[in-house]
Structure formats: C-alpha cells, structure tokens
Structure 1
Amino acid sequence: MTACTRVDCDGSIDETDYCDTCGRPAETRPSSSSSSTGSRRSRSDDPASLPVFDFPDPTSRILTDPQVPVRARRCGNPDCPDPKALPAQGAGFCLACGTAFSFLPSLAPGDLVADQYLVVGCFARGGLGWIYLAKDTHLDDNPVVLKGLIDVADEDLATAERQALTTIDHPNIVRIFNFVSHPDTHTGTPRAYIVMEYVDGLVLNEVAEQSRLGTLPLGEPLRTEHVIAAGLQVLAAFDYLHERGLLYCDLKPDNVIIRSGRHGERGNRVKLIDLGAVRRVGDRSGKVVGTRPYQVSDAEIAERGLTVQSDLHTVGETLRRLYLETADHRAGQYSAAERRRIEVGLESFRRVYTKALHKDPDHRFASSADMADQLRGVLREIASLRDGQPRPEPSTRFVHTATLLDDGLGVVPPLSRWIGELPEDLPLDLGRPAPAVVAIGLPVPRATADDPAADVLAAADAEDPRRLLDRLDTAGLRTPETAFVRCRAALAAGDVDAAVESLSQAGNLLGDDRDWRLRWHEGLIALAEGDVEEARSAFDAGYAELPGEDAPKLALAYCDEHSGAFAKAEARYGSVWRRDRSVVSAVFGLARVRLAQGDRAGAVTLLDETPPVSRHYDAARIAAVRVLSGALARSGQLDRPHAAELAAANDRLSRLYLDGGATTGQSRVRLEAVVQEAELAAAMAGDEVLRRHEDALRQRLERSYRALARQADSQAERSDLVDLANTYRPVTFR
C-alpha cells in the first residue's frame, strides 16, 4: 500500500483509494515541473481539520426518564391505515390495526448482556431504536454502545442492518464489535442488539442547537469550514458504501458525531453512527427508511427508488441546515467586513448544497467523489479568503493556462507609441482585454481520458489554430472532445460561425445538453461575439455545476468588470487570487478594478503580490511601474502621479529585468521615456517638487527621445523622433 501524503498522517492508502487512518482520499501531488506557475501547496495546516474540544464523561449523558415523544410514535405495521393511532402509554396495541407496540427501553441499568456488557443506561434515541451505554467487562470496562429497536415490529430491519454492517469497515463509520441478544425487561422476549464502539463527541444536531443558542460547542464559533470538513468525511464514508453497492439512506445531523479529538485523532474525526437504513443499490423491496426533508420526494422514490443521487440529497440538506447555524450566516456573529471578505466562498458553498438538492436527480452530483471534489475546492477558497493564505491545488476539470489576460499594462510600450503625432494628456490604458481575446485566453476544460481522441488532442490548444483545424480534418476524428477543440480553434482563428457549428456537433455527439462543457463553450462564443451578458449567463451556469473551480469565477469576474460592476468583479477576482497565486490574470483584473476606482496604491500593492516564481512576475513589475507613472481618469479629470510615486517608479524601473538583463537596451529606454514624460507632465501641472527640476527633466526626456530615434526602422520615423526630442529640449538664452 502507498503511504498517505497528508500532513501529520502516518496511514496508508488502501485499495479503496482512501487512507486507512485519516479516512480521506489519496492526495494528488503535482510534479516538480509545475514550479514555473508557483508553489502548489503553501500551508502545513489543513483547512479540513476540526477543532479539539472538551467532552464530558459519557455517564453524564444518561437519560433519567427515557421516553419517545408522542409526535415521533408510529405503528410498526406498514399496512396500518392510521400509523399515528397509538394510545399515549409506552406499550400496548395500535388502535387502528391492533398491532402490538412498545416504545419502552428494553434494557435497564445493571443488566448484563451476553455475560459481557454491563448496561449503564439509555443516553440517546436513534431513528430505529434506543441507544444504551454499557461497559465491556471483558475489556477493562471500556465503554461501548448497545443499539436495540424502538418497536418489535421492526425486527426485519435488525436483520437487514446486521447483514450490511458485517461487511463495513471504514474510519468514518462506527465500528461494529458484536451482535448479541437479551430478554426484554418488560416482556421477557429475547431482543437483538448491536454492540458498537462508543464515540466521545457531539452529534451534529447538538452542535447546531448549541451554536444557535450562542454557545461554543466546538470551543470556537461554528464556521462554514467546520461544516465542510464534516461533510467531506461523510462523503468519504458514502463513497466507500456506494463503491460496495450500498446506500446509507438516512443521513441527518442526528446520525453524525464529531469526535472530541482528545485522543490524538488526525483526520477521521467524524463518524456515521446509525446504519439502520442501509440497503443495497437497486433494492426496492424493503421498507424505505428516511427523514423528511432530508429524503427526496415520494414521487422520485416511486419513479427511481433510492439511489446514489438520493443519498447525496441528504448530504446537501444536512450541509444546508448546519450552514444556517454557522457564525458566517447568523447575524451579529462576525463584522460586516469579515462577512464581505468571505462572501464569494460562501456563495460557492451554497451552490454546492443547492446542486445536491436539485429537484432533478440528473442535475445533482454524479457521485460522492464528484461532490467531495467540488467541496474541497470550496473549502480551500473560504479558508484562503478567511486568512489570506493561498491554498492552490491542480484542477481536475480545467487545464492551467499560461495566458495572461492583459491588454498591454504589463508590457513595455512599442516604439509605435511615439511615431507620428504624440497624444498628450491621455489617461493610462488600464489594459482590459477585449471580450474576444478573453474568449481564447480563459482556462481550457480538461479532456476526458476515455475520449478516443484524447492522445491526439493532448497539446491541441497550444498549436496554431488553423494548422490544428487542418490536422483534425485530415485525421477525420469525430468525438465530443474533438468538437470542443475545433470550437476553440475556430474562435482563435476568428471564425465564430465555425465555432458555433463545432459546438452544435459536440452537443449531438454527447447526446446530453446538460454537460457543463457545453455551457462553458457557449460562454466563450458569446464573448467572441461581444455579448458579455449572454456570456455571463453561460458562465454562471458553469459556476452552478462546478462551484469549487476557479475558472468560472475568473470568467464571471471579467464579465462583471466589463459591465462596470466593480464590487462583484473585485470579490470574484480576489477569491481566485487569494486561493491560487499562479492565476496572475486574477491579480491583473484586481489591479484594473482598483485603478478604475482611482486606487493607484492599492493596484500596485496587489501587483506586488505576484510570486517571483511566476512566469508573469516581470509583467506584474512592469505594470506596477506604468501604474505609478500613469495618469488616472477621475471624475472627468486626470489624477497625475506625484513626485514620490514617480520616484518609486524610477526606483522600480532601475531594478527591472529587461533586455535579457542588460543595464541598457531598447525596452528600458522606452519605459524610461514613459516615466520621464509623466515627470515632466506633473511638473508642468504644478507639482512643486518636480517643478524645480523642469530643465533637468526636459534634458533627460530629450536624451530618451534621441535614444528612441536610434531604434527607428526608417528615416521618416527617425526624423519624427528627433523632432520630438527638439520639441522638449530646454529653452536656453545666450
């Protein structure tokens, strides 16, 4: 077996691809060749961890008067005409059908079950039976749990539960030690009991209720990260069950415990504690056990039976209800600023459980693993928004792109900027790329490995688009992935009609118009056509399908920026950037948004966050120089940089890596001219510091223009630049 790569876990990955100690799936580590895009994992602490909290002695939880509430009582006869027609006493006969019932505990304190388990008392009630605390007298009086049935008419469920439980062994599912029987205290009839491990922790329903009352059951406010961490461990257990053809069927906060963590547990802190409703996939003969509203509708059960998707519905409802009790949701728990900082991540989380709760089961997640994949992405997103620390991880749905979505802010201006009549007093071009450029620069969906053309298409998006189209025509490949690649290649070649045709072909080959890749490419085509609002709608649909992915949020942020919705754009760009510092397009988008609002210093601070290992590091540093020296448009006027900002621009320029590292060169001369123009313009506009040096500024700018003239390709261009130099030389009198 392979060793688990999680921090502080010494377990091994078993044949299920899950760790036998922490219970989490095998972690995919990127190869060392990915270093050019930044560190892929930068934190040693795990955002999926749960806080350690104190938990009282188990005997303190014993019920002194265990009773089943009248509202929860039902006749055990599935054919009973009125299952609620039970008298008020704890035992008797149904008034509607005459079936015997007993809701009384069948074990009493002091009973010795199977000559081994000494009953301490009743401490909880499960959906199918009383739960007793006992001591294992054969093993140092270790605490164990005995679970019986609420009603003797449910004996068939005990058999089904026993058969299912004997094969289950997972760190997030309560362990079964034994099956025993003991005479009922009231009737003397033998009753069957399951002996389970005792879990010292809080039932999730207790966590929710105490959080609602303002207490701190976990020792700190209940946060969305805690809910997600519990959800991920539940999904790990579900994935284990589903892989073995079993459904859990009755997930709810009452059936999940968070362990206290006092005994050195690492990741497997969550346990499913009641498996009474477990059944085989496809089994429609047994009694349906579930809890409203966690369970799907009767109509869906009648049509499809219980399925993996109905199980995931219960996960979605559990996450939703727990989220409503978090400090992130409840008013007054956190400051408005804290809430705003993480709001995009919370939206992503809400989209996860909304997808799981979709009325159409075909629109829910395909599997527990798929849901967990998106939930892990959301966890990293929220945690990074919360503390500002990046938590990158390679996407399973998109290929990381090297394209920088910037239209010139991060490059040295070409010589053509100074050829012809030099425009004066124009604001800094913020470098927002055109929609058609973004359409071919956004991340690319990862090809499915089972597509027949996957090998041929492996490097397709890096190839010249027209050459690629010719090659695909020659190969004669007709698969969904080929059609998607044709669509993107046609967009890169500027042929929108061909892109539309290819996307239509992809839809026909898939035979399913719900595929998220169709929505993604619809968004790309809309951008290419300049219809940003239509693109927003398509990308939003993609976000609903993939809430844990960065790419849909990056696309939506651009649409927001384009439409002037700067607050939304900043939040979404920020969410992508805080999580993954290799997506430099996000920080350029953030900088543009700040500049559009006149925040020069904020834009520079953001650009400075670009890590040195990024391939776009130099572009970010060039952009910072241009931002510090550029005039910003504000309320119809130009906001020019002042002397200190221009001095900072000069200092940064002197340390830039340009022209292959040479101290002088064509790029450096052009960028120096940009800064010097800004200095002279500020002096002429009245900057007191620079005004005193006007002659020196003119002399420097004149020299720069003459150096630019030496870069010209023609005599005419050279003459224009010399004339420009003469225009700005200081006036002298002799």
Structure 2
Amino acid sequence: MTACTRPGCDGTIDETGFCDTCGHRAEAPPAAAVSSAGSSSTSTGSRRSRTSDPLSLPVFDFPDPTSRILTDPQVPVRVRRCGNPECPDPTALPAQGAGFCLACGTAFSFLPSLEPGDLVADQYLVVGCFARGGLGWIYLAKDTHLDDNPVVLKGLIDVADEDLATAERQALTTISHPNIVRIFNFVSHPDAHTGVSRTYIVMEYVDGLVLNEVAEQSRHGTLPLGEPLRTEHVIAVGLQVLAALDYLHERGLLYCDLKPDNVIVRSGRQGERGNRVKLIDLGAVRRIGDRSGKIVGTRPFQVSEAEIAERGLTVQSDLHTAGELLRRLYSATADRTGQYGVADRHRVEVGLESFRRVCTRALDGDPDRRFASAADMADQLRGVLREVASLRDGQPRPEPSTLFVHTATLLDDGLGAVPPLRRWVDALPEDVVLDHGRPAPDVVAIGLPVPRATADDPAADVLAAADAEDPQRLLDRLETAGLRTPETAFVRCRAGLAARDLDAAVESLRQARALLGGDRDWRLRWHEGLIALADDDVAEAEEAFDAVYAELPGEDAPKLALAYCAEHEGLRMTAEGLHTKAEGVRTKAEGVRTKAEGRRTEDDSPLVKAERLLTRAEALYRAVWRRDRSVVSAVFGLARVRLARGDRAGAVELLDETPPVSRHYDAARIAAVRVLSGLLTRPGGLDRPNAADLAAATDRLAKLYLDGGAPTGQSRVRLEAVVQEAELAASLAGDEVLRHWEEALRERLERSYRALARQADTRAERSHLVDLANRYRPVTFR
C-alpha cells in the first residue's frame, strides 16, 4: 500500500484509493485501484476479533463471497408491487415470478435477469445472485480483465423502474467517498428471460456484513463481529455513515433510504479504517429541494407523510433515518439486551443515556429540533463515543470542545487550599467538622464552562482576543465599540452574575433572546440555568441544564452542571431526611403520632430520594472525570459524594487520580491531607480519623509543594496545625495507638499555635493564638 502524503497523516492509501486514516483521496493513484478482497478463501465458520480498540470496529473474518450465492433467488410476494405508478391496485400481481399485473396489465418480472456463467460486456463473468436490494437484484461477478477480482452487478427488479436506474446512475457518477460504494462502470446485457437489453451498474465488492445481519445475529446471542456488539461499535458505524451523509449533503444530495439493509460493515482484514462502513444501493438518492421525483424510503426510518407533504425530503429527514438506524442497532447490543451481564452496563449507564439522547434528538418530531447537519450530529456522537469508551475501560479520552471554553476555575469551595489563619481566629479548633467543599450555587454559576462565541457573531473577534480579560474592562470595550450582538448580551449576562447583579443578568439574557429572534438557541437555556443557580433555584437550574444536555449529549459541561444540581439537592434532602427521622423518633417517644401518621413508604422517604440523587451526581461526575482528567472539579465532586457517605478512603483514592500535569494537582493533594485528618459527619454520628489515617496525612504533608517549595513557611505551618489538632483529638478520644502520646502531641501543637501567632496581623489575633498555645500545652509541675 502507498503512504498518505497529506501533512501530519500516517495512514496508507488502501484499495479504494482513499487514505485509511484521514479519508482523503490519494494525490497520485495507487498502483492497485481495484480490490481483490474476498478472492481468497477463508473459513466460513470463523469470525475472530483482532482488535480491542474501543473506538474502532472489531476486525473479523469473512467467508469467500461465493459461499453467499443464492440457490433459488425469489422476491417475497409480500413486497411485490406493480411498477405502474397509476395502477389502481399495485399488489394485484399473480404469484409467478413474471407476467402481467391483474389490475392494469403492466408487464412485470421479478426474476434475476442474469444467469451464472453469463459474460456481461465481454468483461464480467457472473457467479450468481447473492442479494436483493430495494431496487434490484445484486450479482457477484468476476472482472476477467483484472485478475478475476470480485465485483458487484446491480440490475433492476422491474423494467418499469428504468427512470430510477437513470437517477441512480447520474447520482453515482458524481459520488466519490470512502464510505460510499464505488461505481466502476455501466454495462448492458440482454435479459435471460425476455431478451430485452438491460443496464447494470458495476460496483466494488464489499467483503462484509449487512447491518441487518449484524443486528439479527447479535440479538440472538451470536457474535457476528467476533465479540459482543457494544454501543461503541454502533457509534463507530454511525460516525462513518454520517460522514457519507455529510458528503452527500454538501453536494446537494439526499440519501433518503438509509436503513440496516443498505449499510455494510467491512471485515477489516485489509487494514481498512475510515472506510470500514459502506453505504450501498443509492437508488433513492435525489437532489435537495427536488419534490417532483418518486419518493423512495422505508418505514419507520423515513419521516412522517405529513412532514414530507409540508417540507419534502430534507437534510433533517436524512438525519431522522440515521437516528432510527442507530436506535435499531443499539437495541441489539449487549448493553441493551444484557446478554453478557449487567455490571458492565451499570458502569457505562451515563454514556448510554447520552447515546439515547443523540437518537432522541435525531428522531424529534419537530424537524427544527433535530441536528442542523450531519456534521453537528457527528460532533455530538463523537463525544458520546469517547464518553462510553472511557467509562468502559477507565482510560481518559479528552478532546477540546468546539462549543465550550475550558474553565480553569476549581469548584471546591476551598477544600483544596490550606486553611486561612481566620480558621483559628474565628472558631475553637476542637472537633471542627471538615467542610466537604461544596460551593454555593451562585459560585458555581460563575465557575461553570462558558459557551464559545460563534464565529459568525460580529463581536466574535473582540471576544476571542479578550478571552482572559477583566470582565468589567471587557464590558467597557464592548460599550465603546458599540457592539450589541447575541454574544455580547451573553457576556453582559455573565458579568451581571459575577457582580451579583441578578436583575442585570436577567435583562441581558432578555436582550440576547430578542437579538436571536427566537427561543431555540441552546445558549439561552444554558444562561437560564446559570441565572437560576445564582438565584438559588437549583431545581429550575437542573431543568435548564437538562434541556442543554438533550441538545448536546456529547458535551461535558451540561453533565458537570447537572451533577452539581443533583449533589446539591441530594445533600439538602439528606439533611431534611435526618431531621425528619429525628423528629419522628422524638414524636414516637412522646406517643403523639399515630401508626398511620408514622408510616412512610421507603421510596418516598427523603433519605432514599437523597441517595438516589447522590448516585445520579456520582454517575455524572464520573462520566466527566473518566473522559477528561483536566476537569478536576468533577473529581472533587466525586470526592464530596464519597465524603457524604462517610467514605474517607474512597474520597482520597479519587483525589489521587488527579494527574501531575494538572494545574490543580497540588490542590488535590492538599485536599487529600485535609480529608485524611478531617472530622467527618455520616449517618449515625461523627467519624474521627484513626492513627493510620493521620500517619498517612503526615506523610503526604511532608511531600506537598507549599510556600514556593520552601521546607518551612506559613502554609505548611497552618496545615501541620490541622493534622496535629486531629491527632490530639484522636488521642483524647482513646485511639489505641495515639492515646499513649498525648503529652508529645500537645507539645507539637503548642509549637504550631505559637508559629501561627507569628502570622497574625493584629495584637488581638496574636493574643488569641498564644492563648490557644497555652491552653493545649502539656501540664507540667516545673
């Protein structure tokens, strides 16, 4: 094979003439232009997977093409229709394979027009009929002028469909894409039954399985791809199908009849990558806007008759067929059927939800709510693929978002920072319960990712140049330039939130809606969610963010926002449930409540609802974190959920996943020390760290990068004081290891408090900290 010459591409030019990595046509024709795939015999019973890459389709063995020849090709009576469009009863056909319509007298023939051994155009030797397309019989033949390479001849089922043959021929001659079957030639040959000359399209032979075969076999528990059919495989197919649709749409063409029978998955034995999936049977292809031609489509893949009558066939109707194709294939996956266990499905459930949302949007009854283009749908599907794969195997697969700006804000409410001196000035040190680090809703409202400015907005260049500029300075520049666009209105909305001016934020969003001329833009929903958070209406914020998730299932930002909402409500309901439980115990003890009043179903109890919400938050945070380890706010969210359940070790284990290259690496390590030494609350009481926890905290503290790397400094002193307070508290509480070291622990803590006193800004603060040192120093009689 020939190496691809495009800069930065390490692929090779395969037998289709396209690069198997980037998908572009070779700049110079490869030496072998016609595939010989399938010409060598392989075992018909063996289909082995040769790849474990979750982003790719498995490589599987495929039998010799001659093994698929039909011995008695027949068109089922149930699908036979008269070719006369004016026929009063198109189903009134006799049972034989050829004859005349009983309703209108039009001649028909559903018999194969070529026989094995026929030599078509003195070049193509017919092997036999091996499939039936929607518009014609499909024959396997050998190209006698080119090493007997296998090719496909496609004729018509009925000669009355000659106009469709012309349409297909015109469409095919203009199409050249690695995911669309290639046409080599058009030839004529006399019909074996009537002697009338008929036209045949000569196409490449694709060695693979029709998607309908893949789905049916998978649904019944076999392994057509050599391994269980997973959602990742369905998405990989969908991405290549969408690439083909996008190619057609850019050239003003619609495919119209996308369905599993019209898509083949290649075996991959020849090293194919970007051309593993092929669209075949392009007989339904038509020009965008053409409402005069015959409509060819398949229910329920095709949109409703009412939509066709109103709008005709459109890009959105093609995307509807893609959504239905994906939905049908997903129904046959192991993730859906559960044939290979449910544990794996539980791990990837959020990713499966994201996939289902892609399908739901593509299938929306309102065409305007579907994806704007095949490329837009593919962008979201690509994000879902990375999400599902990362949830499946735990390997991160980050990819910069084209819709959101990555934020450097860490939503941790200070858990990842060394406590300030005020911690000791404002409160007594003993039994200070660790703040889990859940930021307030209004803080989250200004810390979530920001939508990118659209390139067609007049202010896009100004906003891009001022990406890190002070918000007020940016507003002044926009005002000076007189720029009032949807993007500047969104900027003003976020500036209002940052300034805690809710009225200004609401007014700016109203202006954005007016400038956009409608309510369909997802950015409106996003900013509605931010405003609701700033107004402490988390339930309304969740509704807005869920609407964004429905439109952008492949994006991380909506999931991060929804995770916070679920966490916030879950912890609120936990507090409510504990309060209700305590009230119920007291009331029962007083003998006031009746048995009926005290009865509460398990599903309705606040604590059960709270756990459900926390489980949801955990799943969403995990989906973000597994895919992209740069979104450290997600792992802090995961750690908070673990802490809410009293799982100290689990929270630390998660924080330790923060990669060293992250800007928040040190924050995660500081948070781990605080969690190991912190007093936690949990259902049933307090959870004090034990000696092993505190020893681990001390060891980690010594390795922290603090105070610019200096061995001593103010930050290290404060964090040491936190750990030493916990050690003394554990000793006084009777810890088996630490209770013998009370005097030494007091001496260390006294020194730390005196060091803290040297950091004080005022005499009163210094005096207070010296008093703490004296209070905790060991009692001596010297």
| Counterpart-to-counterpart distance in 2, 1:22 and 1:242 | 22
User: What are the equivalent positions in structure 2 for 1:177-576 lying under 5 Å apart?
Assistant: 177-334=184-341, 336-422=342-428, 424-458=430-464, 460=466, 462-564=468-570, 565-576=613-624
User: What are the equivalent positions in structure 2 for 1:49-128 lying under 5 Å apart?
Assistant: 49-128=56-135
| Counterpart-to-counterpart distance in 2, 1:2 and 1:556 | 45
Give the drift of 1:459: 5.2
Q: Which residue of 2 aligns with 1:29?
A: none
Alpha-carbon spacing, 1:24–1:138, altered in 2? closer, same or farther (3 Å): closer
| Counterpart-to-counterpart distance in 2, 1:19 and 1:235 | 17
| Counterpart-to-counterpart distance in 2, 1:24 and 1:685 | 68
- The gaps in structure 1 that reach 5 residues or longer are 13-17, 27-43
Alpha-carbon spacing, 1:459–1:725, altered in 2? closer, same or farther (3 Å): farther
Q: Aligned AA for 1:585? A: S
Q: Which residue of 1 aligns with 2:20?
A: 21
How high is the sequence identity, in percent, across the aligned residues?
84
Q: Which residue of 1 aligns with 2:143?
A: 136
Q: Which residue of 2 aligns with 1:632?
A: 680
Which stretch has the larger CA shift, 564-573 or 451-460?
451-460
Q: Aligned AA for 1:484? A: F
Alpha-carbon spacing, 1:729–1:223, altered in 2? closer, same or farther (3 Å): same
Q: Aligned AA for 1:9? A: G
| Counterpart-to-counterpart distance in 1, 2:177 and 2:301 | 23
Q: Which residue of 1 aligns with 2:589?
A: none
Q: Which residue of 2 aligns with 1:9?
A: 11
Q: Aligned AA for 1:393? A: E
Q: Which residue of 1 aligns with 2:775?
A: 727
| Counterpart-to-counterpart distance in 1, 2:535 and 2:154 | 64
Q: Which residue of 1 aligns with 2:583?
A: none
| Counterpart-to-counterpart distance in 1, 2:387 and 2:484 | 37
Alpha-carbon spacing, 1:710–1:312, altered in 2? closer, same or farther (3 Å): same
Alpha-carbon spacing, 1:563–1:4, altered in 2? closer, same or farther (3 Å): farther
Q: Aligned AA for 1:529? A: D
Q: Aligned AA for 2:394? A: G
- Which of residues 580, 584, 593 in structure 1 aligns to 2:641? 593
- Which of residues 749, 753, 760 in structure 2 aligns to 1:701? 749
| Counterpart-to-counterpart distance in 2, 1:233 and 1:724 | 68
| Counterpart-to-counterpart distance in 2, 1:359 and 1:479 | 31
User: What are the equivalent positions in structure 2 for 1:578-727 lying under 5 Å apart?
Assistant: 578-727=626-775
| Counterpart-to-counterpart distance in 1, 2:646 and 2:465 | 41
Residue aligned with 2:229, SS: coil
Once the two structures are superposed, residues 470-495 of structure 1 have per-residue CA deviations (whole angstroms, 9 ceiling, x without a partner) of 33333321101000111001100111
Give the drift of 1:19: 6.9
Alpha-carbon spacing, 1:384–1:640, altered in 2? closer, same or farther (3 Å): same
| Counterpart-to-counterpart distance in 1, 2:442 and 2:619 | 23
Q: Which residue of 1 aligns with 2:606?
A: none
Residue aligned with 1:411, SS: coil
CA contact (8 A) 1:453 1:481 kept: yes
Give the drift of 1:627: 0.3
Give the drift of 1:464: 3.3
Give the drift of 1:212: 1.1
Give the drift of 1:426: 3.2
Give the drift of 1:457: 1.4
CA contact (8 A) 2:178 2:274 kept: no
Alpha-carbon spacing, 1:441–1:597, altered in 2? closer, same or farther (3 Å): same
Once the two structures are superposed, residues 640-667 of structure 1 have per-residue CA deviations (whole angstroms, 9 ceiling, x without a partner) of 1100110000000001011111111010
Give the drift of 1:604: 0.5
Please report the TM-score for the alignment, with normalisation by the length of structure 1.
0.95
Give the drift of 1:75: 1.3
Please report the TM-score for the alignment, with normalisation by the length of structure 2.
0.89
CA contact (8 A) 1:621 1:656 kept: yes
Q: Aligned AA for 1:21? A: D
| Counterpart-to-counterpart distance in 2, 1:171 and 1:509 | 42
Q: Aligned AA for 1:595? A: L
Q: Aligned AA for 2:11? A: C
Once the two structures are superposed, residues 219-262 of structure 1 have per-residue CA deviations (whole angstroms, 9 ceiling, x without a partner) of 00001111111111111111111111111111101011111111
Q: Which residue of 2 aligns with 1:32?
A: none
| Counterpart-to-counterpart distance in 2, 1:561 and 1:690 | 35
Give the drift of 1:45: 8.4
| Counterpart-to-counterpart distance in 1, 2:451 and 2:624 | 17
Q: Which residue of 2 aligns with 1:33?
A: none
CA contact (8 A) 1:461 1:485 kept: no
CA contact (8 A) 1:203 1:256 kept: yes
CA contact (8 A) 2:430 2:729 kept: no
CA contact (8 A) 1:49 1:267 kept: no
Once the two structures are superposed, residues 413-437 of structure 1 have per-residue CA deviations (whole angstroms, 9 ceiling, x without a partner) of 1001111441532321001000000
Residue aligned with 1:704, SS: helix
Give the drift of 1:24: 4.8
| Counterpart-to-counterpart distance in 2, 1:300 and 1:563 | 41
CA contact (8 A) 1:23 1:236 kept: no
- Which of residues 147, 158, 179 in structure 1 aligns to 2:154? 147
Q: Give the aligned length.
A: 711
| Counterpart-to-counterpart distance in 2, 1:81 and 1:701 | 98
Residue aligned with 2:187, SS: strand
CA contact (8 A) 2:52 2:58 kept: no
Residue aligned with 2:335, SS: coil
CA contact (8 A) 1:25 1:236 kept: no
